[in-house]
Amino acid sequence: MNTNNIFSSIRLRQIINDLKRRPLDASKDLSINPKIFNKYLQGKIRIDENFVKKAVKVWPVNISDFINPKYQKTTNYKVMRFKESYKTKRVMKRGGKDYYEYRDTVMDRDAPFRPEWIRELVYVKSNSPNEKDLKWNRGHLLHQLTYFVGEVNFYYIDKNNKKRAAVMNTGDSMYIAPYVPHTFASRNQKCEGYIVAITFSDKITNDVQNEILNFDKKKIKEIIFNRHFKNQNKVTVKKFKEKRSKSRSPFQIIELAKNKIIRTANFLQFNVKKNNNLNLLNSFHQYLYILSDNFKLKIEKKIIKCKKGDTVYLKPFTNYKFQKKNTKILVAQVQSMFSNEALEQLFHIGEKNFSRLIKDNTQWFKQ
């Protein structure tokens, strides 16, 4: 597979195999000389935009079906240092006043996370959700898990459409569902508190949004809103509570805010109790926020020394270790496309056929 091309010859082979076209049949469909078409299949001629436009007009396929997954090179992890985050800081005003200081933390094109470090720049004298200096947003599509550091208030609209205030301190956490209006403010006059706002997409992906665009309003109501799903609280607030454990595990794992709307997501704080070499591996996308200086992280065979405020993204199925005692780390886990159902179907494909799934560029039968 040529990694320099946006469109993939292997994907082209997969498409014509799925459509039960031999190269001769496919070339006839697209009015291309069979010898030329075979060169496209072999990667000797670059598949370009015009080829793809013609193919999607003739065949029941999408442009995305041709995309080369190797075009954008990626690694199985990404690190963003505190100093790099600091360089991205920008102050956003609301109502003409400085309201938030935003800083980027680690993001990756393959990750569902769009997380930010946010310092609250408005000081409030009371915990009333009707404080005059509060400026509310309209909510956003992404789910949000939030970790609090310092004296920060979280304000939100509850299920009865009433304004609420949650008085938060270091270690407290919350979850807020899409499109729930909310805001934050500081109870500290120096505005030293901040939040780690981990916004992310879960089941409502761009593909789902694109499908919904094809529905009319009546269909949407029939398909979604006439179903008898159980209503869930759209906001979860959880106070930090450190539990003593007699477990022999090298970690104390503290579960932070969780909600049934995002059943497969996890929000955790790992306290490393002792030096260890325990390997961790799972199928989640993972966002790590380092809470301690001198944190030691091993990813695959590479040792990465981290400081407080560094952030790390781990792809699914990446080996990693939290090795150094008396250190802490925040971990958000979001299910990847490798659900149990997907893994089961891959299992039934079998090891023998697995390589075909990845790089098969042959016809599905022998002539």
Domain spans of the chain? 9-73+339-359, 77-200
Nearest to residue 156, comparing CAs of 187, 123, 134, 132? 134
pLDDT, one tens digit per residue, over 204-238 is: 988 888 888 888 878 888 888 888 888 999 999 99
What residues pair up with 299 in beta bridges, in sequence order?
302, 320
Higher pLDDT, 360 or 41: 41
Q: What is the mean pLDDT of residues 2-21?
A: 90
Four-way CATH pick for 77-200: 2.30.30.280, 3.40.630.30, 2.60.120.10, 1.10.760.10: 2.60.120.10
Thinking of the domain 9-73+339-359, which architecture would CATH place it in? Orthogonal Bundle (1.10)
pTM for this model (two decimals): 0.89
Residue 25: in which H helix or E strand, if any? helix 23-29
Domains 9-73+339-359 and 77-200 alike in fold = no
Q: Is 289 helix (H, G, I), strand (E, B) or coil?
A: strand
190: tokens are 């120096």
pLDDT at res. 200: 97
Which residues, including other chains, have CB under 8 Å from residue 340's CB and lie 6 or more apart? none
Residue 179 zone, left/alpha/beta (φ > 0; ψ -120 to 50; rest): left
Sign of torsion, CA 11 15 21 24?
negative
